[in-house]
């Protein structure tokens, strides 16, 4: 199989031009310049021509800049947990572009009503399977860890000792810079209002997608590529 194109046979050594017939690069429009869009642009840009489109005058204007900025491996659903756990080593890496760590220790204690003790025990057991830093905390220790807590109301908790605060804006900038270093264009004030397919401009049997936006036209997105 071709190493970069699943489903395509690998080129025979004698077929030196084989890869030239394979459309190696695509124009990829990434809509939204928050952490999700910046991450996607960063990972796609080395292989394709990326245009990152952001409706606001600034990137990360909405949810990303409002995050509580806590890196938790034991929260949310299984997909979220899996993503956070597999991202952890990247967050802990000393990246050349950054002059400070992305993570700072910030243990997190989730508290539960006494009536919800069984749920807390089950939650802690599941968390411990993922990371030993998650454990059940009973009433006495809860009072020690957080003296203001009224243990007549709150009976127990689940502690994630390895939780950390994360420098969200630093990681966002890291992704944007890496995308741009691979040639990605970042267009601000570029709200996408429609996505259209133009069959007349089919290339290799595939229909290029054009994005129509007030003030942003195909020619801005992908010069010479979508025609
Ligand atoms: C109060 C709060 C606290 C949070 N705390 C945490 C936390 O502690 N830890 C954690 O991991 N997560 C936390 N989250 C969740 C996390 O912040 C979000 O999951 C994440 O920021 C979402 O990023 P995003 O890129 O998907 O969205 P956004 O940051 O909202 O980015 C979407 C971007 O798309 C742009 N856009 C939308 N429509 C268009 C269009 N038509 N054309 C062009 N651009 C468009 C928007 O302007 C925006 O910039 C928190 C969220 C909130 C609200």
Residues 6+ apart with CB under 8 A from 158: 74, 109, 110, 112, 120, 123, 124, 127, 134, 135, 136, 137
Q: Is the CB of 69 under 6 A from ligand 1?
A: yes
Exposed, middle or buried, 95 (CB in 10 Å: 0-12/13-18/19+)? middle
pLDDT number for residue 211: 58
Is the pLDDT higher at 9 or at 55? Answer: 55
CA of 88 to the centre of ligand 1 (A): 19
CATH architecture, domain 105-165: 2-Layer Sandwich (3.30)
The pLDDT tens digits of the residues spanning 125-153 come to 999 988 899 999 999 999 999 999 999 99
The span from the CA of 124 to the CA of 127, in Å, is: 5
pLDDT number for residue 2: 41
The pLDDT tens digits of the residues spanning 153-206 come to 999 999 999 999 999 999 999 999 999 999 999 999 988 887 766 554 444 544
Is the pLDDT higher at 57 or at 216? Answer: 57
Lowest mean pLDDT among 13-22, 82-91, 145-154, 218-227: 218-227
Domain ranges of the chain: 26-69+167-221, 105-165
The pLDDT tens digits of the residues spanning 25-61 come to 888 999 999 999 999 999 999 999 999 999 999 999 9
Probe ligand 1: pick from 63, 69, 90, 168, max atoms within 8 Å of CB? 63
pLDDT number for residue 209: 54
Q: Calculate the dihedral angle through the C-alpha atoms of 17, 19, 20, 26, rounding to the nearest 10 degrees.
A: 180
Is the pLDDT higher at 3 or at 188? Answer: 188
CATH of 26-69+167-221, one of 3.50.50.60, 3.40.50.800, 3.40.50.1970, 1.20.1260.60: 3.50.50.60
Q: Is the CB of 36 under 6 A from ligand 1?
A: yes
pLDDT number for residue 163: 96
Q: Is the CB of 194 under 6 A from ligand 1?
A: no
The answer to whether the beta carbons of residues 192 and 211 sit under 8 Å apart is yes
pLDDT band for position 76 (cuts 50, 70, 90) = confident
pLDDT number for residue 18: 47
CA of 218 to the centre of ligand 1 (A): 26
Q: Is residue 17 over pLDDT 60?
A: no
Q: Write the Ramachandran bin of 143: left for phi over 0, alpha for psi from -120 to 50, otherwise beta.
A: alpha
The span from the CA of 211 to the CA of 195, in Å, is: 5
CA nearest to 117, candidates 75, 155, 151: 155
């Amino acid at each position: 199989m071709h190493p970069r194109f699943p489903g395509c046979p690998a080129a025979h050594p004698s077929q030196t031009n084989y890869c030239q017939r394979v459309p190696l690069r695509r124009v990829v429009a990434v809509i939204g310049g928050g952490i999700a869009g910046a991450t996607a642009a960063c990972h796609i840009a080395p292989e394709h021509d990326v245009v990152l489109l952001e409706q606001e005058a600034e990137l990360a204007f909405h949810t990303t800049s409002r995050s509580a900025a806590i890196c938790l491996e034991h929260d949310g659903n299984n997909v979220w947990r899996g993503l956070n756990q597999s991202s952890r080593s990247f967050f802990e890496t000393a990246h050349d572009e950054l002059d400070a760590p992305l993570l700072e220790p910030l243990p997190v204690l989730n508290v539960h009503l006494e009536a919800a003790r069984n749920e807390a025990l089950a939650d802690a057991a599941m968390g411990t399977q993922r990371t030993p830093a998650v454990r059940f905390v009973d009433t006495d220790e809860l009072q020690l860890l957080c003296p203001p807590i009224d243990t007549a109301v709150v009976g127990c908790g689940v502690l994630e000792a390895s939780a950390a605060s994360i420098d969200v804006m630093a990681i966002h900038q890291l992704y944007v810079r890496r995308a741009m270093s691979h040639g990605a264009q970042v267009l601000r004030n570029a709200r996408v209002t429609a996505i259209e397919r133009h069959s007349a401009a089919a290339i290799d049997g595939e229909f290029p997608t054009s994005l129509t936006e007030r003030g942003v036209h195909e020619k801005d997105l992908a010069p010479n590529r979508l025609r």
